[in-house]
A and B are shown apart, each in its own frame.
Chain A
Amino acid sequence: MNPLENIESLAYFAPEILLVIFAAAVIILDLLVKNRESEKVAYLALVGLGCSLVAILITNSILGTNESKNLFFGMIRLDGFAVFFKVLLLLATAATILFSLRSEELDVRLKGEYYALLLAVTFGMFLMASATNLLMIFIALETVSLTSYILAGFLTHSPRSSEAAFKYITYGAVASGTMLFGLSLIFGMAGTGDLATIGQQLPALLGSGEVTALGVLIAITFILAGIGYKIASVPFHMWSPDVYEGAPIPITAFLSVASKAAGFALFLRFFFSGFGNSEVMQSIDLGLLLAVVSALTMTIGNLAALPQQNVKRLLAYSSIAHGGYLLMGAVLLTNGNAAIVDKGIGAIIFYLIVYFFMNLGAFYVVVLIANEAGSEMIDGYRGLSSRAPLVAGAMAIFLFSLTGIPFLAGFFGKWVLFAAVIEGKLYWLAFVGLLNSVVSLYYYARIVKAMYFETAEDTDRLSFSKGTFALLSVFVVPTIFIGLLNIFYSLSERITLQ
């Protein structure tokens, strides 16, 4: 299949182009609008996301099922996998904009740049989900990282936020530099930046002894530093609690869902296309490496979450742990059996859908409570069941779903994931995952206990607008019903990499 040339590719690149156009339009509208309290800018950004979504669906329908197109001389690839991640990332951005509109933390004077940056970071994530060239991978990763640093430090008069941005960029710059070094080594081995060509050449190079398995393993370890930092896997997770705590809450929600999803998209495509050959995987023993990283990530995430008092920080550690669960699915990429590899990818995709609803929902409640009760600490959630029964109920559902209590969505997400891991004969890994789910119940239940069994000094009822409840129900309803609907399973099974 020949890659398309630049001009031919533009039609398939319309979603990304629309995002960039609207990012520019948002800045211009911001200059024109006189009233600083106006929310027009945010709505224009939402319109941009809507147009992009329509464009994604149109390109998808032109594409047809199970087809793919290589765009821009093989720099990026448009396939069902990329389309799924684009829709997920786009919805996460839309949710973030809606959260930002309701968050009282964000400074109204800086609105235009904020929404333009959100569109720009979405653009970068689209590229991450579809990059098939080493150069494109690095550019996409840097586009996302650089904009995320600015967004994390967006509260200019909050020391916490500046500190978060500082720690984020220090870790991030080193991680992406290390990753670039690894990419340069891979480039040197294969003599090309194209992932598919690398994937074809590596087995032969390893076989002829031109390239040693150790060399490939070193390069991959360097690259894992960059990808592992994006998905906050051990040992590159240290930035994430501090950044999640310091950043504005909508951005924390965005980073924990969208950034992680984009990181996994890049991870899967990179290892599948570049190193998908099972001989390569076996000769460098990548499976064991990934399995150990996965087990450590969930264990450390869950154990560190136990003593936390700040809900944002607690959810940061919980999202590290969920990254560990997702990595279990990624370990299956190293399995020689193609059916099990597809199962692993399907399980990751299904888990990401579930995680999208339950985690964004939990962060939305954190936004609401920070607005109304002015606290991010667990103490601020005391007696919430009597002060705001509906919000407390929703939070309890999100937290139980994150734990994996039957029969909420999180349970089915874990079910699919564990089933795939057991089918891949990684019994010890599934066992570690199961133990971790039990541990996680303790810290999620602490918030529920504060909401239902403790009383607050302040017993006034909190009032929320109708729009708040409407948005909340967008997350609650899928969190309850997603596992019972067949369509999401079949969706996740249909999406495979080629």
Chain B
Amino acid sequence: MSLQHYLVISAILFSLGIFAVLTRKNAISILMGIELILNSCNLNFVAFSRFVTPSENIVGSEVFRLDGQIIAIFGIVLAAAEAAVFLAIILAIYREFGSIRPDKVDTLKG
């Protein structure tokens, strides 16, 4: 597998995520789309880190820097935090509007 394979997969994941956010009629599905977007970024970071980041030669052995992997771990943590807040807000929406369909939530406009 080369870098291109990973990049193509992550581009497909990203596009699917955007597609889900734009077309789904349910707040939970929108959240799933957002998770897809964030995970495509994590995949990108890890792939780039493995293929692009220069390896260093320390005491005769080749050592890979893990910058991208670290960013991916932070990305996963932040995605979890975002999901928690999103679900809490969906709960509040359900209490106030009796529905989690985004098109029903439209009192503010103009």
Contact = CB atoms under 8 A, between A and B. Distances in A.
Interface of A: 134-135, 138-139, 142, 146, 149-150, 153, 156, 158-160, 162-167, 169-170, 173-174, 177-178, 180-181, 183-185, 187-189, 191-193, 241-242, 245-246, 307-310, 313
B53 A177 contact: no
B68 to A, nearest CB: 6
A165 B95 CA distance: 14
Top 9 closest pairs, chain A to chain B, by CB: A177-B37, A188-B48, A184-B44, A159-B96, A180-B41, A162-B92, A242-B108, A173-B34, A191-B52
B75 to A, nearest CB: 7
B44 A188 contact: yes
A242 B37 CA distance: 24
A177 B17 contact: yes
19 contacts: A135-B74, A139-B74, A142-B82, A146-B81, A146-B85, A162-B92, A163-B93, A163-B108, A165-B89, A170-B30, A174-B18, A174-B21, A177-B17, A177-B38, A180-B41, A181-B44, A184-B41, A187-B48, A191-B53
B2 to A, nearest CB: 13
A313 B37 CA distance: 31
B48 A138 contact: no
A311 to B, nearest CB: 13
B79 to A, nearest CB: 9
B5 interface: no
A193 B97 CA distance: 43
Interface of B: 14, 17-18, 21, 27, 30, 34, 37-38, 40-41, 44-45, 47-49, 52-54, 67-68, 70-71, 74-75, 78, 81-82, 85-86, 88-90, 92-93, 95-97, 102, 105-110
A134 B54 CA distance: 17
**Chain A binding surface, main DSSP class:** helix
Nearest to B52: A191
Given A146-B85, A166-B27, A180-B38, 12 more contacts: A134-B71, A138-B75, A142-B81, A162-B97, A163-B107, A166-B92, A166-B93, A167-B105, A167-B108, A187-B48, A187-B68, A242-B108
B108 A185 contact: no
B110 A308 contact: yes
Contacts of B68: 187
Contacts of B107: 159-160, 163
